[in-house]
């Protein structure tokens, strides 16, 4: 298969690496040197000098792995230079506007969410990581990526677009918000213990991410519902602390242990 990849960042370069064995890959990046660096280390991989060069490459599949804020623009520009038969693919962690674009385009598509950001995951060992395949995706295209994810021993989840956004409000917004609040309360004079240092490492990793990505995850329409739950639990914890209620604290800890078991 001839596969074009837009974006030579962490996700784009990882996909190029995994797909270059057995497929012909062409990478485009606004900074050509970045694409050249990725391509030079891989087999069957070339660099597209421009988006228009897609016309000569004639991809069977186009994977959009650019930054979140540029996803729609990249799709619209690439669409001018690919055939109607080309399957288009996104790997966005936030799907806002993407279902509408696909419906308007009338093209075959696959929507994925590899749930292992470059900040924390070891892409050389993904056995404990997860990936989402959107149910509305083209069956042939979805099967292609399912086979890839199974080879990498990823845990695969199937959600609709709506189910995906609801789940991401829980699995992304809650830990992101918790980490941001931790960072907001930072005291430079603190003497860090082991737990503090672990939280600090997570906070530094999270805040190294793109601002637009962080904001879009927080702006998920379902985020406030989940954050209200967090606020309610925090109020309950404050109630326990004010009353120095050891019995209630014990029950609370037992419930938490059950939650994470």
Confidence of residue 183 (pLDDT cuts 50, 70, 90): very high
28-70 pLDDT tens trace:
999 999 999 999 999 999 999 999 999 999 999 999 999 888 9
Distance from C-alpha of 97 to C-alpha of 91, rounded to nearest angstrom: 13
79-92 pLDDT tens trace:
999 999 999 999 99
State residue 123's pLDDT score: 66
Distance from C-alpha of 30 to C-alpha of 242, rounded to nearest angstrom: 56
Confidence of residue 116 (pLDDT cuts 50, 70, 90): confident
DSSP string, 146-179: HHHHHHTT-EEEEE-HHHHHHHHIIIIIHHHHHH
Tell me the CATH architecture of domain 2-159: 3-Layer(aba) Sandwich (3.40)
Distance from C-alpha of 261 to C-alpha of 258, rounded to nearest angstrom: 5
State residue 127's pLDDT score: 84
Domain ranges of the chain: 2-159, 164-260
The model carries a pTM of 0.88
Tell me the CATH architecture of domain 164-260: Orthogonal Bundle (1.10)
């Amino acid at each position: 298969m001839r596969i074009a990849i837009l974006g030579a960042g962490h996700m784009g370069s990882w996909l190029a690496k995994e797909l270059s064995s057995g497929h012909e890959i062409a990478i485009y990046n606004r900074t050509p040197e970045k694409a050249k660096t990725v391509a030079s280390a891989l087999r069957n991989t070339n660099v597209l000098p421009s988006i228009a060069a897609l016309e000569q490459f004639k991809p069977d599949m186009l994977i959009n792995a650019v930054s979140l804020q540029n996803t729609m623009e990249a799709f619209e520009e690439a669409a001018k230079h690919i055939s109607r038969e080309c399957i288009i693919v996104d790997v966005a962690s936030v799907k806002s506007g993407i279902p509408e674009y696909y419906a308007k385009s009338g093209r075959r598509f696959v929507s994925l969410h590899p749930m292992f950001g470059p900040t924390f995951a070891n892409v050389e060992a993904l056995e404990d990581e997860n990936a989402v395949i959107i149910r509305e995706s083209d069956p042939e295209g979805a099967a292609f990526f399912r086979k890839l994810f199974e080879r990498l021993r990823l845990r695969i989840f199937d959600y609709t677009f709506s189910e995906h956004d609801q789940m991401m409000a829980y699995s992304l917004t809650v830990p992101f918000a918790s980490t941001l609040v931790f960072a907001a309360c930072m005291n430079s004079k603190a003497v860090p213990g082991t737990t503090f240092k672990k939280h600090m490492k997570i906070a530094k990793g999270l805040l190294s991410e793109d601002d637009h990505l962080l904001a879009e995850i927080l702006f998920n329409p379902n985020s406030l519902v989940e954050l209200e739950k967090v606020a309610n639990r925090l109020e309950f914890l404050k109630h326990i602390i004010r009353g120095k209620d050891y019995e209630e604290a014990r029950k609370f800890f037992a419930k938490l242990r059950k939650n994470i078991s």
